[in-house]
Amino acid sequence: MRDGVLFEITKDALETGLRGVPVGYCVTSFVDPIKGLTYVGRPISELVNRDPIELIYLLYFGEQGSSEQVAEFQKDLNKRSKCKAETIAAIASLPTVGHPMDAFSAALIVAGMFEGTGDYREDCLNIIAKLPQITAAVINSHAKWGTTPEPKPELGYIENFVHMLNMPGEKTAELIAAMRLFNAIHYDHNGGNLSAFVGKAVASGLEHMYGSLAAAMTALSGPRHGRANQDCLKFVQSVLDDVGENAKAADVEALIRRKLENKELVFGFGHAVLRVEDARATVCYNYCQKHFPTHPLVKIALLLRSEGTKVLKENPKIANPYPNIDAITGSMLTAAGFPYPDYFTVLFGLSRCVGIAIQIVYERLEARDGKGTPIVRPLYLYKSRT
Nearer to ligand MLT, 240 or 272 (CB): 272
- Nearest approach in angstroms of CB 101 to ligand MLT is 14
Nearer to ligand MLT, 73 or 187 (CB): 187
Binding letters toward ligand MLT, positions 143-172, x by CB under 6 A: ------------------------------
Nearer to ligand MLT, 83 or 217 (CB): 217
- Nearest approach in angstroms of CB 271 to ligand MLT is 6
- Nearest approach in angstroms of CB 134 to ligand MLT is 20
Coil, strand or helix at 269: strand
Distance of CA 14 to the CA centre of its chain: 27
Q: How buried is residue 23: exposed, middle or buried, by Cβ count under 10 Å (0-12/13-18/19+)?
A: middle
Count interface residues toward ligand MLT (CB under 6 A): 5
Coil, strand or helix at 214: helix
Coil, strand or helix at 37: strand
Binding positions for ligand MLT, 182-201, rule CB under 6 A:
189, 193
Separation between Cα atoms, residue 149 and residue 127, nearest integer Å: 18
Nearer to ligand MLT, 7 or 147 (CB): 7
Nearer to ligand MLT, 164 or 220 (CB): 220
Does 208 contact ligand MLT by CB under 6 A?
Answer: no
Q: How buried is residue 251: exposed, middle or buried, by Cβ count under 10 Å (0-12/13-18/19+)?
A: middle
Nearer to ligand MLT, 50 or 271 (CB): 271
Binding letters toward ligand MLT, positions 278-317, x by CB under 6 A: ----------------------------------------
Separation between Cα atoms, residue 326 and residue 235, nearest integer Å: 11
Q: What is the DSSP-derived secondary structure letter of residue 362? A: I
- Nearest approach in angstroms of CB 38 to ligand MLT is 13
State which H helix or E strand residue 30 sits in.
Answer: strand 29-32
Coil, strand or helix at 42: strand
Q: Where are the beta strands (DSSP E) in 307-351?
A: none
Q: How many residues does the chain have?
A: 386
CB 326 within 8 A of CB 182: no
Q: Which residues are catalytic?
A: 225, 271, 326
Among 77, 110, 111, 272, interactor with ligand MLT by CB under 6 A: 272
Binding letters toward ligand MLT, positions 311-330, x by CB under 6 A: --------------x-----
For the CA atoms of the chain, what is the radius of gyration?
21
Does 345 contact ligand MLT by CB under 6 A?
Answer: no
Nearer to ligand MLT, 165 or 325 (CB): 325
Q: How buried is residue 42: exposed, middle or buried, by Cβ count under 10 Å (0-12/13-18/19+)?
A: middle
What secondary structure does DSSP assign to 152-209, as a single string?
-GGG-HHHHHHHH---SS---HHHHHHHHHHHHHTS---S-SHHHHHHHHHHHTT--H
- Nearest approach in angstroms of CB 278 to ligand MLT is 7
Does 142 contact ligand MLT by CB under 6 A?
Answer: no
**Position of minimal CB gap to ligand MLT:** 193
- Nearest approach in angstroms of CB 282 to ligand MLT is 14
- Nearest approach in angstroms of CB 317 to ligand MLT is 20
Q: Give the residues lining the site for ligand MLT (CB under 6 A).
A: 189, 193, 271-272, 325
